[in-house]
Amino acid sequence: MLTIVLVSFAFTLHAQNVLKGTVKNSDGNPIENATISVDGTKVAISTNQQGQFSIQIPAGKSKLTARAVGFLTIKKDITSNDYQNGIEVMLDDDNRNLEEVVVSGTLKEVSKLDSPIPVEVFTSKFFQANPAPTIFESLQNINGVRPQINCSVCNTGDIHINGLEGPYTMVMIDGLPIVSGLSTVYGLNGIPQALIERVEIVKGPASTLYGSEAVGGLINIITKSPSSAPLFNIETMGTSWQEYNVDLGGKFNVGSAQSLLGANYFKYGNPIDKNGDNFTDVTLQDRFSIFNKWNFARKDNKLFTLAGRYVYEDRWGGEMNWSRNYRGGNEVYGESIYTKRWEMMGAYDLPTAENLTFTFSVNGHDQNSVYGDTEYIADQKIAFGQLSWRKEIQNHDILTGLAYRYTYYNDNTPATDKSSHTHLPGVFIQDEITLHPQHKLLLGARYDYNSIHGSIVSPRANYKWNSLDKTQVLRVGIGNGYRVANVFTEDHAALTGARDVVFEGDLKPETSWNGNVNYIKKFYSTSGAVFAIDASAFYTYFDNKIIPDYETDVNKIIYSNLNGHAVSKGISLNLDWAHTSGLKAMIGATVMDVYSEEDGVKEWQMLTEKVMGTWTIGYNLKRLGINIDYTGNLIGPMRLPTLGEEDPRPDKSKTWSIQNIQLSKKFNNGLEVFGGVKNFLNWTPTKGGIEIISRAHDPFERIDDPNLLPFDPSYVYGPNQGIRGFLGLRYNLF
């Protein structure tokens, strides 16, 4: 009997075959912790740091499944040759990132599907489908998010989320509040693309954890870790409009510390006037930024990281014959802006048994600008510090902390008689309760004391349910937010043009209540394809909203708190699909209604569309190794800031679309070449002969004619740059 058992066992071992192989990504780099399983069995194994595996294949089985977080699952047939020479499995990036790790919703790293807060994640691969020199331009293909150009002369802008203007959105770098105040308008252009690992977006109030300015949502730019970044990388691109951009990056070690260093240079120095108004169509720019990040090794894997960034930008737009010797004068009109900005940030886990983390950021922003013969000189410094404590007690994950923010601001405007010093201490607490493996409840509250406006309380509650197999997720949330307005640092329209700025009373902080529902459903096919539906509904109610009034007096912009309420509501839908054939698609649409109501009169918010759509469609020609990316957006009509009934310019825009096409080719040595056409429909706001700038022929209003409208460049709603070709290359050395 024993002999029979031993023979059977030996025969079984012989019937099983050992298969060795490697799992790599589309760049040819190994993937660690990828799961290799044998179809029809429970046999599975994970890859090592080199992406290698060795697995026993039971007799009669000939198909593998390979999966990894952030990549598309693939099934592969095993051939007899694979046993002799080994098998190589190539996984394509999954741009939907349904299993991506996120931190923005709860200040801890969790799977996107496990987060009770809906967080959208976009990796650097997503942005490479439509390469751009700045994160500001890259966000144009994200559903519900729209970069808004605020000035047709100097092209400054901000980011709208679900119809809410830029100041309602907090922009952070590595979870720290860096972009605010002056940099809301001027600071988004200096973040090097090559250093971005991913971008996390939360739509809806996040004031409980992040304080003021996170009323509409937040954008968290996560930079690469020195451990995972390439040893050296370069990305360079040029366009037929003579725009040139270069990103350089690299990493090095000093003892046990790892450092990531990156630099960006952007140059556009070719004045173009295709619409014939004698003003530059696109602002000329000369920008340099440098970024350095350090990770220090510590015992028990405690965190210690430091980073810094410096940005210098010189931009101008105006009449075609403007030159620097006209700066600040009234001979030739030009808007010239010099920006110097520095930032430092860091995080440190205290050497205690308890989970205590101190994070900080400090930044300075020096603004030297002229708008015609009007000077705007501003200086802003912000310091932020936060001590947080996390504790898990049974089914409770408690996060609490103390925060302090100091803001110094001074400018030369009449509204600023003396420098401003604002102190904002705060305390917050959050409890994530696991009611059941499929049910989570998040309760949070924040208390801040503003040295000017007093006490402010911001509570929130979120609930999440997921199906047992995690293919369905439902989230419901409600929260309160507040915002203290700083008109001159946030609204470029207050500075440009000939209008006078008028304040009616002391501006009070805005408050809001937001409710949102989010539902995700994922589908998997036997062929490895993935399809996901992501649907959301949102409703935000504002008190004391500050809305600039362009219409009461064409010579003024009047700022005051609304004597009524304002509402932002709508629904959005994202459809994401990817197939192992190489075809991927991300298509989204948002329908919204953003309005104010005062004295029973409802008014559609200016420069806010009621409908928008975005898409990113890609196809990989695997035999040729060529990727084709087709990206675009569709923006519905919006109300525009005209100068009354005498203004010949339409008071509503028509539906418009920016569409792009790109071809890219990767080589085995780490080189990638890409090129294509941006805005191939050649759309600009001046289509149909519309004049964008009022009184462009007389910007200093020298002609004494009461029938002439004021000079006004604030009538702008989209980029005034037509079709252009681009060509570039990337190189990564690991």
pTM of structure: 0.85
Domain 222-411+422-733 CATH (choose: 1.10.10.410, 3.30.70.270, 3.30.2130.10, 2.40.170.20): 2.40.170.20
Residue-level pLDDT at 485: 65
Between CA 383 and CA 243 the distance in angstroms is: 35
Residue-level pLDDT at 84: 80
* Domain limits, the chain: 2-91, 222-411+422-733
Above 80 in pLDDT, residue 161?
yes
Q: Which residue has the higher pLDDT, 413 or 355?
A: 355
pLDDT-wise least confident of 35-49, 169-183, 594-608, 642-656: 169-183
Residue-level pLDDT at 461: 94
pLDDT in tens, 66-79: 888 667 778 788 88
Residue-level pLDDT at 436: 94
For strands 284-296 and 257-268, give the pairing. antiparallel
Q: What one-letter code names the amino acid at 167?
A: P
pLDDT in tens, 76-101: 888 878 888 888 888 876 654 445 66
pLDDT (mean) for 39-57: 85
Above 60 in pLDDT, residue 481?
yes
pLDDT (mean) for 245-265: 93
Task: State how far the alpha carbon of 653 is from the alpha carbons of 38, 280, 484, 608, 685, in Å.
Answer: 57, 21, 31, 10, 8
Residue-level pLDDT at 300: 83
Task: State how far the alpha carbon of 225 is from the alpha carbons of 47, 123, 190, 292, 648, in Å.
Answer: 21, 14, 19, 11, 53
pLDDT in tens, 309-353: 999 999 999 999 999 999 999 999 999 999 999 999 999 999 999
Q: Which pLDDT band, with edges at 50, 70 and 90, does 181 fall under?
A: low
Residue-level pLDDT at 37: 87
Residue-level pLDDT at 71: 75
> Do the two domains 2-91 and 222-411+422-733 of this chain adopt the same fold?
no
Is the domain spanning 2-91 CATH 2.60.40.1120? The answer is: yes
- Residue 179: phi and psi, rounded to 5, are -95, 105
Between CA 591 and CA 347 the distance in angstroms is: 39
DSSP assignment string, 88-116 = EEEE-B-TT-TT-EE-TTTSS-EETTT-S
Task: State how far the alpha carbon of 636 is from the alpha carbons of 155, 443, 569, 590, 612, in Å.
Answer: 21, 37, 16, 10, 6
pLDDT in tens, 117-141: 888 989 888 999 999 988 888 889 9
Above 60 in pLDDT, residue 492?
no
pLDDT in tens, 598-648: 888 999 998 999 999 999 999 999 888 899 999 999 999 999 988 888 899
Q: Which pLDDT band, with edges at 50, 70 and 90, does 440 fall under?
A: very high
Residue-level pLDDT at 12: 43
pLDDT-wise least confident of 42-46, 171-175, 412-416: 412-416
- Give the range with max mean pLDDT: 119-133, 175-189, 498-512: 119-133
3-state secondary structure 388-403: EEEEEECCEEEEEEEE
pLDDT-wise least confident of 66-80, 281-295, 362-376: 66-80
Strand (E) or helix (H) holding 236 = strand 232-239
Q: Which pLDDT band, with edges at 50, 70 and 90, does 499 fall under?
A: low
Residue-level pLDDT at 496: 58
